[in-house]
Amino acid sequence: MFKVIYKITYPNGKIYIGKDLMDALNYFGSANSKLIEKDFTREQRRDLIIKKEILFESENNTDQEINRKEVEFIKQYQSNNPSIG
């Protein structure tokens, strides 16, 4: 089973970096829905395309190694900066 680090990109260009230790196709992370909803009007929410990219995948890394890798990507992409992520 693969463990992955992924990047979600919303239509407004903001991103979310997360990990999935089960590599579930329909998992899009635990981002704060209320914060995301503030960025979109009701009309924009009617037709919304969200992009999910796998940035890193591994069958051999431990959960702890994946956690560290996730933090590296968060820093690299600055997704914890509210103007970016």
Specify the pLDDT at position 31: 87
Rounded distance between C-alpha atoms, residue 57 and residue 53, angstroms: 11
Specify the pLDDT at position 20: 97
In a domain, 49, yes or no: yes
7-60 pLDDT tens trace: 999 999 999 999 999 999 999 999 889 989 999 999 999 999 999 999 999 999
At 82, phi and psi to the nearest 5? Answer: -55, -25
- 3-state DSSP call for residue 57? strand
Whether pTM > 0.75 for this model: the answer is yes
Domain region containing 47:
3-77
Counted domains in the chain: 1
DSSP annotation of 46 reads G
Residue 72: band (very low, low, confident or very high) from pLDDT cuts 50, 70, 90: very high
In a domain, 85, yes or no: no
Rounded distance between C-alpha atoms, residue 20 and residue 40, angstroms: 26
Rounded distance between C-alpha atoms, residue 15 and residue 74, angstroms: 10
Q: In this structure, are strands 15-20 and 51-58 parallel, antiparallel, or unpaired?
A: unpaired
